[in-house]
Every structure is written in C-alpha cells, then in structure tokens.
Homo-oligomer: A and B are copies of this chain.
Amino acid sequence: MEKHHIELLRKTLLEKADILDGDFEKIRTAFRPRFIKKKKDLLRVGEVCKFHAFVVKGFMRSFSVDHKGADHVIQIAYEGHWVGDLYSIFTGKPSNLCIEAVEDTLVLMIESKRLEELYLEVPILERYFRKTLLSAYVNTLQRLNSTLSEPAEARYLKLIEDQPGLLRRAPLSHIASYLGITPESLSRIRKHLHANKL
C-alpha cells in the first residue's frame, strides 16, 4: 500500500470532512489494496457485495445485463471515486450488477461491515459519506433528467462537455451503453456531428 495512494484517500476525505490525523490512521488501517487487471471483475452478478472500493488508479464501470444479454453501464469510476453495489450492501441481497476494470486498476477496499463500525469510532466519517452520497445522488438525478428529456445527441454532447476524459479512456460501446443507446447509434451520431463541422 504505497504512500501516494493513501494520500489520495486522505485528500479525498478531507475535501468533505475535517478528519483529524489520528482518526485518519484508524480509517487507513481498515483498507486493503487490490489490483484488478483490465477486463477482470471486482464483483459478478449474483454475488453479495460486501465492500466499498476506492479507486486510486485506473478506471472501472458497473453495469447490469438485461434479459437478452445487452449490458447497460450504470456507473463509471476513476481516480478518487468509489465503487460498490450499494443496493446489495444495504439489503444483503445478491447484486444485479457486474463491476469490471476497464483499464488495469488499483483500488483500496474496505469491508462494509467494518465501515459501519468506523462510523461509531469516527463519527465525522458519517459526514463524508453523507456528502458523497449527496453528490452522487444529485448527479444521478441529473443524468436521469437528461435521459428523460433530451435526445441521444444532446446527451452525448453534454457528456463530452462534463467528462472529456471519458472519451479517451472508454471504448465507444461503453459510452453508448452509458448514454442508453447502441454502439451503432452512437457511431451515427458522431458521423452526423462530424458532417456538421466538428
């Protein structure tokens, strides 16, 4: 567990909550590093998710698979983000999601049970996760709103505005899935945008 990975965790926590150095030490020791090779899974459909994972390097996606095998990217996570199936963690039921490394990825993992204990030992940690959940929730609401109200081309333009890095790191098929369309459709949207001078 190298120093700058821990520093990214510390820095990320401090952005949303004032955590004392002593408390951070308690937190730090609850995490263990794990490396996931590109295209390997951190969680598979049907497993019960018992961890939160903090991405220190790399890029992951979580996706569902519908009744006829098509996958749908629900979330993406790169450096400084969290992954895990909150539904499964919270209910204890098997996950409907698969969490997969898009690139070679290093995460710091904590047992969800251990995190619950940490809330008692370090109450301010609850503030960090409340705020983190808040922004994740707000982002998802906006994405939902966008999906309900705008055609795919507008959503694509918004995405390259908000997440320019994504285009370089994720293949077209993942981006299409994230937008809720097929790779073919996204390819045509790109073609159409190029035709109009970009």
Residues of A within 8 A of B (CB): 64, 66, 70, 72, 74-75, 86-87, 90, 119, 123, 126-127, 129-130, 133-138, 140-145, 147-150, 177, 180
User: In the complex, A172→B141 CA distance in Å?
Assistant: 22
Main secondary structure of the interface of A (DSSP, over half): helix
Q: In angstroms, how far is the closest chain B Cβ from the Cβ of A2?
A: 30
Copies in the complex: 2
B72, B134, B137: the one within 8 Å of A148 (CB):
B72
- A126: B residues at CB distance < 8 A: 123, 126-127, 130
Q: In angstroms, how far is the closest chain B Cβ from the Cβ of A147?
A: 6
Contact across chains for A137 and B72 when beta carbons are under 8 A apart? no
A86-B148 contact given A126-B127, A127-B119, CB 8 Å threshold: no
A sample of 9 inter-chain contacts (CB < 8 A) reads A64-B149, A66-B150, A87-B141, A90-B135, A123-B126, A133-B137, A144-B144, A147-B148, A147-B180
Interface centre among A123, A141, A143, A177 (most CB of B within 10 A): A141
Contact across chains for A149 and B86 when beta carbons are under 8 A apart? no
A87-B119 contact given A126-B126, A147-B148, A180-B147, CB 8 Å threshold: no
Contact across chains for B70 and A137 when beta carbons are under 8 A apart? no
User: In the complex, A71→B138 CA distance in Å?
Assistant: 19
B129, B138, B142: the one within 8 Å of A90 (CB):
B138
Q: In angstroms, how far is the closest chain B Cβ from the Cβ of A155?
A: 11
Contact across chains for B144 and A74 when beta carbons are under 8 A apart? yes
Q: In angstroms, how far is the closest chain B Cβ from the Cβ of A178?
A: 9
Q: In angstroms, how far is the closest chain B Cβ from the Cβ of A101?
A: 20
User: In the complex, A119→B124 CA distance in Å?
Assistant: 10
A137-B86 contact given A127-B119, A144-B143, A147-B144, CB 8 Å threshold: yes
